[in-house]
Amino acid sequence: MTLNQSNNFLSFQSQIKRILPNEAEAFFQSLDTDSPTSIRFNPLKNYSNKLGSEKIPWADNGEYLAERPSFTLDPAFHAGAYYVQEASSMVLEEVLKQSADLEEDLLALDLCAAPGGKSTHIQSLLSESSLLVSNEVIKNRANILSENITKWGLPNTVITNNDPSHFDKLNVQFDVIVVDAPCSGEGLFRREPEAINEWSPEAVKLCATRQQRILADIWPALKPGGVLIYSTCTYNSLENEENLQWLYEQLDAEGISINLNDDWGFTETETNGINGFHAYPHKVKGEGFFIAAVRKMEGREKKLRKQKKPMNFASRQEIDTLKPWLRNPEKFDFIKHNDLFIALPNHWKEVIHDINSNLYIISEGINIGRLKGKKLIPNEALAFSTELNLEKASTFELNLEETLNYLRKENFDFEAMNNGWNLITYQGLGLGWANRIQQRVNNYYPTNWRIRMGS
């Protein structure tokens, strides 16, 4: 789509001509082409109906689609079988693989995480004994993040709603921090041409200042020797290379050598030994993106202290009722928050307790549900969880039309459904719960998630 020739665009055009003096014409021609559509499959969901037509070479589970379907009308999308994600940003996978030992049990933080593309990607890359804290400072965006991570279904995540400065309260530090910083959005101009109206050289300066504030606030939360991955969806040097320079000068960050395949088309730059990579749309099949990795060489290392306020653990009798619902119950501690029972990875018990004591939690671990006597009223999160024990749950498979009715919270055919709680599935993928009581059925798909689009 052609960008309008506003003063903003003319300023942007001048900037690109400075950055890419010999490639500016090809760059601007690429902005008049269609944006590629790409998705990333969930490796832990058993989904065989592959949609992709071409592999993304820098992401093991990433694929380009020949055309953009209606994702809203695909139940597999709602089941967390795949995530619709821009291809250039998936290069995070290669940078993370080269900068951190993913075989280790890592404590990782995705600081600016909404809507969840990078968090679900990081989840799929970390070892199953690692823990990801996924944070978003804006409340309504944090709720969207929580929905997407819930549907992805992995249990090793805590979702928080905090300002970066709050993380200094923790008694733990992170092995890896990803800062996909809020930026001026230049890399989105092809996909969202109207975004140029919000752009200006002054906005770029404001974004760069805010990015430095975010980096300064979160730096104490990174372990000495830990890795910080910095990325933006923009082209200018002020938000990219000059922020790497600032990290080097102000925080003594040291570059981590990253090598990307030349055939992928990323453009490498170097700033005081820190190499960064640009994705330009005339060279990479994707939108504009920048990424770099640095290491924290020195600093105070915190020691985890026991919290004064104890966690509210479930009783032995309650645990006996909850355990059969999970595939690997021995890996979890069961706590009670009000009347909701939650399974938390026991390997990270003290760390999660520290996070609970110092940050605002949106969600953590697996929300299993509530108990009514010795019977579980399952939470929607359990339906999506890769830890759900399918031998315990009664499943009810629906065809496409009936599944869409379920997702709209409309009537669907339940004649063959067992009485009681049923896991609604589509092509074997869990989507939510329904409770049959004789000749009626209650649809427990969350109202705020329901599809509002017609056929």
What is the number of H-type helices and E-type strands within the chain? 12, 22
Contact indicator for 75, 430 with CB cutoff of 8 Å: no
Residue 211 three-state SS: helix
Contact indicator for 338, 316 with CB cutoff of 8 Å: no
Q: Among the options 112, 183, 207, 233, which is catalytic?
A: 233
CA distance 96 to 178: 9
CA distance 196 to 194: 5
CA distance 304 to 171: 5
CA distance 238 to 206: 10
- For residue 128, give the nearest of 145, 161, 103 by alpha carbon: 103
**Preceding amide of 36 cis, omega within 30:** no
Contact indicator for 359, 162 with CB cutoff of 8 Å: yes
Please state, as a whole number, how many other Cβ atoms lie within 10 Å of the Cβ of residue 101.
12
CA distance 89 to 342: 32
Is 112 annotated as catalytic? no
Contact indicator for 309, 355 with CB cutoff of 8 Å: no
CA distance 431 to 383: 6
- For residue 448, give the nearest of 401, 412, 404, 409 by alpha carbon: 409
Q: Which residues of 374-392 are buried (b: 16+ CB within 10 A; e: fewer)?
A: eebebbbbbbbbbbbeeee
Contact indicator for 256, 99 with CB cutoff of 8 Å: yes
Phi-psi domain of 413 (left: phi exceeds 0; alpha: psi -120 through 50; beta: other): beta
**Cα angle, residue 360 at apex, residues 92 and 382 outer, rounded to 5°:** 70
Report the catalytic residues.
233
